Chains A and B, each alone.
Chain A
């Protein structure tokens, strides 16, 4: 009889194992890491005491060669190129496919297939494609550019000290542009047909139709695509380890954490991790709250 008064109780019970696991392994371990990041513990031995925010301050003011800010700069370049690249390519593909094309299913499947491949595997071929040799030594894509008479396109790819991270984003774009395309296609399909018809009745040109009627409807799609690619970018580790290995020129915070752990500097690794988490949370938490509210309204 009790379950008739509070039928939801059984639901809470069913979901509770998940809640406990996530409570401990997400929130509990985050708290653990935050605590670790405020300890004076820079080798395998016990903590020498509470260090407050020192480890964080040191990342910005007292890191050899400004290694941390260097890795942040790399991450920023990567993130911008990756996000813009996937959005642009995804949108172009979606626009090309949106009103139906011959063999549409084939194109969609091929554009999306790189998503099924692991970064470790695609890194193998992209390292080869992004061969930094130029001129007579050209290999990979540079050889293609040379063969097509487009020598000016030859470049050192990820080995360029300033813009190498932009090249590192190319494989990531290859891998996820198809996913963003799928998001856009879903967005287009979600727009009621009456809107298009009304615009056509009003004599809107194709350009006006997209510019004034369809694109504004896609704002939520763009937002989710940016959140998804943005947070992936913050975590980017596999691809970089696979293409370049851990090295200065392509180091991002996620790789820096790994390298720091290899030296048993636990508190510093924890501080970098928490910093990454905070950056992600600043973007994602408002988004989640926004989605939650939007759902309640509808």
Chain B
């Protein structure tokens, strides 16, 4: 993303002296105002994070109305310990949920996306639209019978059930991302050349397509990891505090009538940490891939 980002400007201002006369050239004052605004918005966006961090290190006595926004007088990790005691087991469980979901969803998405873009069958467009609709449904519309269905299949409650539902309801978005990715990056000629050489579907997919699929994998892995990690709706319908993911445990910790704000905020940070790490490490590719998919749809 970042390397391409600057490209249009370089191209524009570089070789065309005629464009030098255009009125659109930013003035120094304009630049200053622009950066000041960017900085102001940056602070506003980061404000909740500041509150979370500061409050989580305060002791119970400091959580009054006075000095709410100030740094702790005494930094203490007591609330972090309390939060970890409440969230620890579900924290580890949620990895057992989010990692398989991310991997399985991505592989299914790659296969589907490949078929729907480069190994098409008659009616592929209609099928794709039908798949895509599954992404937009309010899950309440399937939730009531879903509980009976997973019981009927005999899936153990908690994480295995949630892996199954996240994979299934993640098929539309993963298929979309891979389909759009292949449609824009894999030349049809490549597939045809493979066919002439007698390569069947699976060999083409494995040898020609998968090696090109890195960027799309990054997007679906992050997307599915984050959405299964952050999900609350499926979790509350299909699991409980003993076998469910971290959002359930956090809500139990923070949702009490008179919540312990310091512990809740430490808990909120613990809950957010893995997705934030994933995002900071891979975010650049994520935005790039996301935008590539988003333009198309």
Q: Mark A235-274, 1 if CB is under 8 A from B, else 0.
A: 1011001100100000000100110010000100110111
CB atoms of B272 and A101 under 8 A apart:
no
Say which one of A49-57, A80-88, A133-141 lies at the interface with B.
A133-141
Say which one of A63-71, A151-159, A281-289 lies at the interface with B.
A281-289
Instruction: Name the CB-closest residue of A to B26.
Output: A99
CB atoms of A15 and B146 under 8 A apart:
no
CB atoms of A238 and B232 under 8 A apart:
yes
Minimum C-beta distance from B297 to chain A (A): 6
Q: Which residues of B contact A26 (CB under 8 A)?
A: 133-134, 137, 142, 169
Instruction: Name the CB-closest residue of B to A203.
Output: B23
A3 and B119 CA atoms in complex are apart in Å by 12
Q: Which residues of B contact A274 (CB under 8 A)?
A: 141
CB atoms of B24 and A209 under 8 A apart:
yes
CB atoms of A120 and B119 under 8 A apart:
no
- Chain A at the B interface: mostly helix, strand, loop or mixed? helix
A29 and B149 CA atoms in complex are apart in Å by 9
A272 and B284 CA atoms in complex are apart in Å by 40
Instruction: Name the CB-closest residue of B to A118.
Output: B230
Q: Mark B124-148, 1 if CB is under 8 A from A, else 0.
A: 0101111111101111111111100
Q: Mark B85-121, 1 if CB is under 8 A from A, else 0.
A: 0000000000000000000000010011001100111
Q: Which residues of A contact B65 (CB under 8 A)?
A: 133, 137-139, 143
Count of A-B residue pairs with CB < 8 Å = 302
- Chain B at the A interface: mostly helix, strand, loop or mixed? helix
B229 within 8 A of A: yes
A140 and B297 CA atoms in complex are apart in Å by 39
Q: Mark A201-244, 1 if CB is under 8 A from B, else 0.
A: 10111100100000000000100100100010011011001100
A167 within 8 A of B: no
Q: Which residues of B contact A111 (CB under 8 A)?
A: 41-42, 45
Q: Which of B48, B142, B296, B297 is the one whose CB lies under 8 Å from A125?
A: B48
Q: Given the interface contacts A11-B201, A29-B146, does A118 sit within 8 Å of B119 by beta carbon?
A: no
Of residues B22, B52, B136, which shows the largest number of chain A Cβ atoms within 10 Å of its Cβ? B136
Say which one of B5-13, B74-82, B154-162, B213-221 lies at the interface with A.
B5-13
Q: Mark A1-29, 1 if CB is under 8 A from B, else 0.
A: 00100011111101100110110111101
Q: Which residues of A contact B224 (CB under 8 A)?
A: none
CB atoms of A18 and B287 under 8 A apart:
no
Instruction: Name the CB-closest residue of B to A99.
Output: B9
Instruction: Name the CB-closest residue of A to B46.
Output: A110
CB atoms of B38 and A101 under 8 A apart:
yes
Q: Given the interface contacts A9-B121, A15-B111, A111-B41, does A22 sit within 8 Å of B275 by beta carbon?
A: no
A-B contact pairs, 6 of them (CB 8 A): A29-B145, A96-B37, A102-B35, A125-B48, A241-B255, A280-B138
